Structures are given as structure tokens and as C-alpha cells.
């Protein structure tokens, strides 16, 4: 559920201007005042009186249509100054002007007229206004620059808020699509959703079989071995012959008496062809009802395939950005080239051995990739030092989990992986860093990454030592189980196959030799 806020977009600007004895007033006389004050706020009471509102509306018509630049000050009555706000109307929640009364308006007719319109005593109004050191006429240009500067700053802030809101909304929409397309996670494919849809159509119609042939932009979504065909109740080869002998229609049709064909189309893009045949019930003939149901199913499949294609493209873009981020980490410390990818691989394998769900496997993979992102904020002289670090230098390095957390925490996509980044150097016995968490208080992702990180660090060449033999690494880690490492997760680690890790490590080592 989204939170609803009642704060006006210009509330901050209103408070800042009010401290400078300037009032924000809606330009359109019929618009309600979003910043009502008490009767004791004499300046606001006068500047938002019916007469003032009408004067502001008429005077502002002289400004150009553009809301992106400041306009010349207006003075519809002596001493009543009206200033434009260079803020887009859509961001500001309406059209507003900054209004104030100069000192030479206090003793003239302007205050008398505005006070009469506001139904307050003009003498009291003058007395209160005079005590607040009103703006002088010679300062109008300076006031205009002040208002324009504050408004531009507020406009820039609102643009950022608007962009963030739209970005969050886009991510929320992508997350919804991901939920609906539940098979579109790491390690799964659209075939399962399509098969369930085909089975449901088959059972509802009482048909012997249903099949879908995908084409065009949707074809890469399926495993190449399927030949673009998913079926229920019929062999794909038999379905392929039916599709080959049928002309793809522009809309759902009944072919003969026992076959319905429906194009799977999203807007003007054809993504495939859906077929259902051989009804088992009644007279075995297909009617308009069956045609309509198959057409509806084709529509659902079109939405799913299009969304799956969109998710695939966005996910590829996200993972590409992630790869660039990991490359930036590697560039800071070439001696640990590929470390993040290897930790990600091992973390995923440990999580899979521990029985985590498929969506968690993807998250732990991402967490492994970015677990050392905080090293971007570390001095290269420390990261590339040939000798062991001093206590002072190690204290700097120990800050990288917290730095990584701060880098990623405002990006919604990384929310599920933040614990792994922040706490992967905690120890089961509570002697880790940065927060000294202990036992099960350490988040699961962090305990998994700690094992993968430790194994790769000991198995890789570093500036100050060579890689240790596999049997030595495993023996030392076994000795750390229960103190540094989670013993149950370490048992899962011992069960995983390391050939993929070894191949990746060899590839990274070769890349380092080539770059040398």
C-alpha cells in the first residue's frame, strides 16, 4: 500500500519565504490557499485577501507563458510586489506568485484597501507591519533575485523528487510483472507458465490437446531445443505439422469442426499462434464459445510473453550495469580480479545446497557480486599494498562493508542484498566487524557470503602471499567453523561441486596474465 502525503510540494519554499516576509499566493483567484495562516499573520491575511487575489490574477497575465524563467516584478498597487516563481506548474501543484508589501505601502491606500477586503482594522495592520521591518523599494531587485534563487533550488529538488517517484513507480511495476510472471526467475523459464496455461485451456474446453508456437521477438524466450513449440496432450512434432499446414489467421477462427487457431498478438506484433483441437465432449465440434475462450487465452499469453521479454531486457540491462560496477571494484584492486564473481558463484551454490528459494538464489548471487562495493571508497595505496597492512590501514579497510551499505541503500533493487554487503565480515563468535554481531543475529546472506569470501581469499594469490592448497584451505576453514563461520552452512559448502569455481578462477588468472 502506498503512503499518501498531504504536504504541499512547495511547503518548504513557503516556510523559507515566510521567514523573509514574503507570502506564497495561488495565482488563480479561484484556487484554495494551501498555506492558510491565522489572522495574526497580518502580511498573509492582506496578501491573500479577495482584492489581493484578484489583483495578482490580473497582473500575472502580463507574464510570458514560460514558467521556466523568472519574470519582472509586478506592482498592481503601490507597494504590493508580485514576483514569479520559475518552477514548473506540474511540480509546484499549481501556479503561484511570491507576494510582499513594501514599506511605502504601509501608510498609503494600498493597506487601507487590502485591510478592508480582508475585514481587519487597517490601523492595527499598519502597526504590526511597521514592527516587522518590511522590504524597502530600493531592495526589490535584490528580493527578486532571492526569490528566484530559492525557487530554482526548490524546483531542482522537486525535479529530483519527481524523478525518484517515477523511478520507484517503474520499479514497482517491474516487480509486479515479475510476480505475475512467476517463472521468470534465475534457473526457470517461461515454458512452465505456458504449459500451465495450455493445460487449463485443454481441460476447460475438454480438448485432447493444446499447443503454442512462438515466433518473432518471443522465440528467444524458449529453450532452443523446443523448436519454438510448447504443447499439452500432443507431441511437439505432431503439433508442428498442424502449424505448418495451417495459415496463420489475423484473428481467432475455427478450422473445420475440430480445430481453433488464435494469433498471439501484442498490439501489432505477432508473438505466436495458439491452437486447440479434438474436443472429447458432445459432438466434438468447436463452436464460437471455444473460439472465444482460445482467443482470450491467446490474449493472456501475449501479455505474458511481452512482459517476459520486457523483464528479460530490463534484467539484462540491470545485470550489465551490475557487471560494470563489479569491474569498477576490480579496477581498484587488480590482485583480486574476479573475486566478486567467484564469491557470487560460491554463495549461490551454498544457498542452493541449503534449500533457498529460486528468487533468493538470484539475490544471494547479486549480493556476492556487490559485497565488496565499499572498496570503491578505499585508497588504492592500501588496496594495492605489497606488504601486510598496519593496524591503522586495516582499520580503514574495515570500513568497506559500511561504505558499501551506504552506496547501495537508496537503490530499491538492492534492498534484498544489503544485509549481505553490510555484515559479511561478522563472525559467529561476535568478534567480527563492523558491528560485532553474533550467531544467528548475523543475517543469513552475510553468513553465506562469509564462507564464500573466506574460501576464495585463501584460495587466491594476494600481494603478500601465494594461494594456499585446497586441502589446507578446507582444513583451516573447518577449524573456523563455529567461531568464525556458520558450522551448518559450512557443511553445505563442503557438499558443493567446485569445478565451476576452479574454471572461473583459472579464467580470471589467465586474464590477469594477459593484462600484465
Rounded Cα distance between 51 and 214, Å, is: 68
pLDDT of 328: 78
- Between CA 452 and CA 79 the distance in angstroms is 73
DSSP state of 295: H
CATH number of this structure's domain 191-307, picked from the four choices 3.40.30.160, 1.25.40.10, 3.90.930.12, 3.30.450.40: 3.30.450.40
Q: What was the pLDDT predicted at 331? A: 73
pLDDT of residue 350: 98
What is the rounded distance in angstroms from the CA atom of residue 251 to the CA atom of residue 292? 10
Of 158, 367, 360, 201, residue with least CA distance to 294: 201
Q: How many residues does the chain have?
A: 516
List the Cα angle 86/9/75 in 5-degree steps: 40
Task: Considering the domain delimited by 333-515, tell me its CATH architecture.
Answer: Orthogonal Bundle (1.10)
Instruction: Tell me which H or E stretch contains 23.
Output: strand 23-26
- Sequence-separated (6 or more) residues with CB below 8 Å from residue 240: 213, 227, 229
Helix, strand, or coil (residue 412): helix
Domain ranges of the chain: 11-165, 191-307, 333-515
What whole-number distance in Å separates Cα of residue 61 and Cα of residue 383?
A: 63
* pLDDT in the model for residue 163: 56
- The helix/strand/coil state of 485 is strand
Report angle CA 326, 327, 328 to the nearest 5 degrees.
90
pLDDT at 66: 45
Instruction: Encode the chain (516 residues) as per-residue pLDDT tens digits.
Output: 333 344 777 888 888 888 888 999 988 878 888 888 765 689 999 999 999 999 999 988 887 544 444 567 899 999 999 998 877 666 666 788 999 999 888 888 999 999 999 999 999 999 888 887 788 898 888 888 888 888 888 777 776 665 554 544 334 333 333 433 444 333 356 888 888 888 888 887 788 899 998 887 787 777 777 778 888 888 888 888 888 877 777 787 877 777 888 898 888 888 889 998 887 765 566 777 678 778 888 888 888 888 888 878 887 888 888 888 887 777 776 666 789 999 999 999 999 999 999 889 999 999 999 999 998 878 888 887 878 888 999 999 899 999 999 999 988 889 999 999 999 999 999 999 999 999 999 999 999 999 999 999 999 877 667 889 999 999 999 999 999 999 999 999 999 999 999 999 888 878 777 766
CA distance 120 to 466: 86
Angle at 113 between CA 111 and CA 116, to 5 degrees: 105
pTM over 0.85: no
Amino acid at each position: 500500500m502506498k503512503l499518501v502525503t498531504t504536504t504541499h510540494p512547495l511547503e518548504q519554499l513557503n516556510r523559507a519565504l515566510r521567514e523573509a516576509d514574503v507570502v506564497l499566493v495561488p495565482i488563480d483567484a479561484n484556487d484554495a490557499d494551501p498555506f492558510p495562516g491565522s489572522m495574526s499573520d497580518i502580511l498573509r491575511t492582506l496578501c491573500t485577501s479577495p482584492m489581493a487575489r484578484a489583483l495578482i490574477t490580473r497582473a500575472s497575465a502580463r507574464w510570458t507563458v514560460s514558467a521556466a524563467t523568472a519574470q519582472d516584478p509586478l506592482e498592481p498597487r503601490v507597494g504590493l510586489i508580485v514576483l514569479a516563481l520559475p518552477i514548473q506548474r506540474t511540480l509546484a501543484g499549481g501556479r503561484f506568485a511570491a507576494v510582499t508589501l513594501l514599506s511605502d505601502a504601509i501608510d498609503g491606500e494600498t493597506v487601507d484597501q487590502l485591510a478592508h477586503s480582508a475585514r481587519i482594522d487597517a490601523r492595527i495592520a499598519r502597526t504590526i507591519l511597521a514592527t516587522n521591518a518590511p522590504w524597502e523599494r530600493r531592495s526589490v531587485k535584490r528580493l527578486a533575485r532571492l526569490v528566484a534563487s530559492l525557487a530554482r533550488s526548490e524546483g531542482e529538488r522537486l525535479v529530483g523528487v519527481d524523478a525518484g517517484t517515477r523511478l520507484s513507480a517503474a520499479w514497482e511495476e517491474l516487480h509486479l510483472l515479475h510476480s505475475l510472471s512467476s517463472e521468470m526467475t534465475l534457473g526457470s523459464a517461461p515454458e512452465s507458465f505456458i504449459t500451465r496455461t495450455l493445460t487449463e485451456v485443454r481441460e476447460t474446453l475438454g480438448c485432447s490437446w493444446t499447443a503454442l508456437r512462438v515466433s518473432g521477438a518471443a522465440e528467444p524466450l524458449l529453450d532452443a531445443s523446443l523448436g519454438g513449440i510448447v504443447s499439452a496432450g500432443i507431441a511437439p512434432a505432431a503439433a508442428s505439422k498442424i502449424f505448418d499446414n495451417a495459415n496463420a489467421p489475423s484473428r481467432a477462427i475455427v478450422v473445420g469442426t475440430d480445430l481453433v487457431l488464435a494469433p498471439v498478438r501484442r498490439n501489432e506484433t505477432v508473438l505466436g499462434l495458439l491452437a486447440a483441437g479434438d474436443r472429447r465432449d458432445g459432438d466434438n465440434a468447436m463452436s464460437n464459445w471455444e473460439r472465444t475462450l482460445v482467443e482470450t487465452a491467446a490474449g493472456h499469453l501475449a501479455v505474458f510473453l511481452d512482459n517476459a521479454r520486457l523483464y528479460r531486457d530490463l534484467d539484462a540491462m540491470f545485470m550489465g550495469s551490475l557487471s560494470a560496477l563489479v569491474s569498477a571494484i576490480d579496477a581498484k584492486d587488480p590482485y583480486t580480479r574476479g573475486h566478486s564473481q567467484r564469491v557470487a558463484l560460491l554463495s549461490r551454490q551454498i544457498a542452493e545446497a541449503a534449500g533457498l528459494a529460486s528468487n533468493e538464489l538470484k539475490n544471494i548471487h547479486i549480493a556476492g557480486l556487490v559485497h565488496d562495493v565499499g572498496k570503491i571508497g578505499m585508497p588504492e595505496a592500501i588496496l594495492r599494498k605489497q606488504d601486510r597492512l598496519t593496524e591503522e590501514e586495516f582499520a580503514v579497510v574495515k570500513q568497506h562493508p559500511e561504505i558499501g551499505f551506504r552506496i547501495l541503500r537508496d537503490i530499491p533493487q538492492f534492498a534484498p542484498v544489503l544485509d549481505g554487503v553490510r555484515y559479511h565480515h561478522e563472525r559467529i563468535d561476535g568478534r567480527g566487524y563492523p558491528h560485532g554481531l553474533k550467531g544467528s543475529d548475523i543475517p543469513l546472506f552475510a553468513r553465506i557470503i562469509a564462507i564464500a569470501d573466506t574460501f576464495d581469499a585463501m584460495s587466491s594469490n594476494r600481494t603478500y602471499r601465494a594461494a594456499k592448497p585446497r586441502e589446507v584451505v578446507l582444513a583451516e576453514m573447518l577449524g573456523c567453523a563455529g567461531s568464525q563461520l556458520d558450522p551448518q552452512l559450512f557443511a553445505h559448502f563442503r557438499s558443493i561441486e567446485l569445478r565451476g569455481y576452479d574454471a572461473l578462477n583459472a579464467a580470471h588468472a589467465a586474464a590477469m596474465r594477459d593484462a600484465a
